[in-house]
A = this chain, B = another copy of it.
Amino acid sequence: MTIENPQLISELREILATADSKQLQEFCVSAHPASVAELISTLSSQEAWEVLRHAPYPLRSEILSHLNEDLQIEIVGSLPRHEVAHLLADMSSDDRVSLFKKLSEHLQESILPALAQAEREDIRRLSAYREGTAGAVMTSDYATLSPQLTASQAIELLRKVAPDKETIYYTYVVDKDRKLLGLVSLRELIVAHRDARVNDIMNPEVIFARVDDDQEDVARKMQKYDLIALPVLNDDDVIVGIVTFDDVADIIVDEATEDFHGMAAISHKTHPVIGDINMRDASILLLVRTRLPWLLVLVFVNIFSSAGLAYFEDTIKAVVALVFFLPLLINSSGNAGSQAATLMVRALATGKARLSDWFFLLGKEVLVAGILGVILGAAVSFIGIFRAGPEVTLVISTTMVLTVLFGSLVGMSLPFLLSKLQLDPATASAPLITSIADIGGILIYLNIATYILKDMIQVNGGL
């Protein structure tokens, strides 16, 4: 995180050096927990705990849950288990389980017995859901109402449970089996007549998610309908949790980061995931492991480029000037392809393109890439005329039109193809498309050259 006021870090270090308990406590309560956590994040885990342990409960847990996960794990790993149990007990249900899941198995087993039964069961229940699903991001701290209550009874109830709930602005009306009947907002409860029944105020058409739904779909749904919270139901229509608005932005940012890295051929298969880590703290090994796999794969893909060039050795030997324009032509093709791929990957991710539009969009891409190719072809013939003969100029301008078209069609199609194969369209990385565009570009270029320049090749080849 970027610290807005770096001077605060030195102030914190000064207080830490004096080891004055009163000042450390004051520091912890002086600002928003997120701001305190941000400053503590600049310290080692020992120092961080030295500050944090001066915060009163439950603030201590709240600051802890704003720290990055690595630091949380380090701190928790060094504490006695009764302290860990206390910290976990005070955390919100979703933060608690996501920290718990990251702890070593040994630590998990030693802490579980120290927790109260309700929390233990909550952790067991929530940690069963697969990462990346609604179940894995939801919290159990939601409020429910029964339909027979009056508005004023409902408000009185919410008043009492408020401290333990993540939100009381949306409450869920359930029957005795906790099946979801409707949604009522605190706004509606306040506006309603005090004796009106919840049953009559509630909206029975609730937008919800299933436990197995992809977190990205959950975020998109909440964004579309402007929801503060979304209930998560199991297959029996029983409410088992809610996802709150503050998770939406986090999910969107994480998914965008994953797509960004995918487009640049950066692997997300490593653990920990590179996008979650501050660049200063990312280890050399992790950085190598995220970058090497695709670079290596692409080296071997590029052997086909080499083979293509070797096949046309005679043409190249005869007209060496062809080589001068090689990077220009294959780059233009790769660039147009990256553009087309990025437009499609992002449009598919934001819902601005549908899989079923593929053929329609392919037709459009032929037109767009055709126009781009002709303009770029004109530009290179302008360059060519000054630096090469008319024949070579004809070769490079014709090649430009065709390679830009080829690269663009590959670039726009690959994300659709990957989606159809149930793969992440963002795997259609710019480097992969560039490599494919290169191979195609080289074959187009040297075939055209061999055809148009056949007289020159024979003359030179005869030397």
In the complex the two chains form, is B343's CB within 8 Å of A279's CB?
yes
In the complex the two chains form, is A260's CB within 8 Å of B346's CB?
yes
Q: A295-324, CB under 8 A of B: which get 1 and which 0? A: 110111011011101100100110011011
Contacts of A291 on B, CB cut-off 8 Å?
A: 336, 339, 368, 372
A40 within 8 A of B: no
Q: Which of B168, B257, B360 contacts A187 (CB 8 A)?
A: B168
In the complex the two chains form, is B342's CB within 8 Å of A263's CB?
yes
A12 within 8 A of B: no
Q: Which of B261, B335, B375 contacts A265 (CB 8 A)?
A: B335
In the complex the two chains form, is B335's CB within 8 Å of A294's CB?
yes
In the complex the two chains form, is A323's CB within 8 Å of B316's CB?
yes
Q: A216-233, CB under 8 A of B: which get 1 and which 0? A: 000100111110100000
Contacts of A383 on B, CB cut-off 8 Å?
A: 299, 303, 306
In the assembled complex, how far is the CB of residue A249 from the closest CB belonging to chain B, in whole angstroms? 4
In the bound complex, what is the Cα–Cα distance between A252 and B222 (angstroms)? Answer: 14
A61 within 8 A of B: no
Question: A266-B342, A284-B368, A309-B327 known; A249 and B246 CB under 8 Å?
Answer: no
Contacts of A352 on B, CB cut-off 8 Å?
A: 1, 275, 277-279
Q: Which of B191, B223, B321 contacts A250 (CB 8 A)?
A: B223
In the complex the two chains form, is B264's CB within 8 Å of A338's CB?
yes
In the complex the two chains form, is B261's CB within 8 Å of A343's CB?
yes
Question: A367-B284, A371-B284, A376-B299 known; A264 and B341 CB under 8 Å?
Answer: yes
A2 within 8 A of B: yes
Question: A162-B187, A376-B295 known; A280 and B442 CB under 8 Å?
Answer: no
In the assembled complex, how far is the CB of residue A125 from the closest CB belonging to chain B, in whole angstroms? 24
Q: How many copies does the complex hold?
A: 2
Chain A at the B interface: SS class:
helix
Contacts of A275 on B, CB cut-off 8 Å?
A: 346, 350, 352
In the complex the two chains form, is A274's CB within 8 Å of B343's CB?
yes
Q: Which of B287, B310, B367, B438 contacts A368 (CB 8 A)?
A: B287
In the bound complex, what is the Cα–Cα distance between A187 and B279 (angstroms)? Answer: 38
In the complex the two chains form, is A334's CB within 8 Å of B434's CB?
yes
Q: A155-190, CB under 8 A of B: which get 1 and which 0? A: 100110011000011000000000000000011001
In the bound complex, what is the Cα–Cα distance between A150 and B169 (angstroms)? Answer: 21
A344 within 8 A of B: yes
In the complex the two chains form, is B264's CB within 8 Å of A296's CB?
no
In the bound complex, what is the Cα–Cα distance between A1 and B162 (angstroms)? Answer: 37
A141 within 8 A of B: no
Question: A306-B325, A387-B306 known; A253 and B354 CB under 8 Å?
Answer: no
Which of A246, A257, A320, A346 has the most CB atoms of chain B within a 10 A radius of its CB? A346
In the complex the two chains form, is B219's CB within 8 Å of A249's CB?
yes
Contacts of A327 on B, CB cut-off 8 Å?
A: 302, 305-306, 309, 326, 330, 438, 442
Contacts of A2 on B, CB cut-off 8 Å?
A: 351, 354
A93 within 8 A of B: no
Q: Which of A231-271 contact B (CB under 8 A)?
A: 245-246, 248-250, 252-253, 256-257, 259-261, 263-266
In the complex the two chains form, is A298's CB within 8 Å of B245's CB?
no
In the assembled complex, how far is the CB of residue A382 from the closest CB belonging to chain B, in whole angstroms? 10
In the complex the two chains form, is B430's CB within 8 Å of A380's CB?
no
In the assembled complex, how far is the CB of residue A328 from the closest CB belonging to chain B, in whole angstroms? 4
Question: A320-B316, A331-B434 known; A1 and B351 CB under 8 Å?
Answer: yes
In the assembled complex, how far is the CB of residue A427 from the closest CB belonging to chain B, in whole angstroms? 14
The 8 residue pairs across chains A and B that have the minimum distance between CB atoms: A264-B342, A226-B246, A279-B353, A256-B256, A302-B328, A305-B327, A335-B431, A223-B249
CB<8 Å pairs between A and B, sample of 27: A155-B190, A186-B187, A248-B249, A260-B260, A264-B339, A264-B341, A264-B343, A265-B338, A266-B343, A278-B353, A279-B344, A279-B353, A284-B368, A284-B371, A291-B368, A295-B372, A295-B376, A296-B376, A298-B332, A302-B331, A303-B328, A309-B327, A326-B327, A331-B435, A334-B431, A334-B434, A338-B431
List 6 other contacts, CB 8 Å, given A162-B191, A169-B187: A186-B186, A266-B343, A284-B371, A287-B364, A287-B368, A316-B323
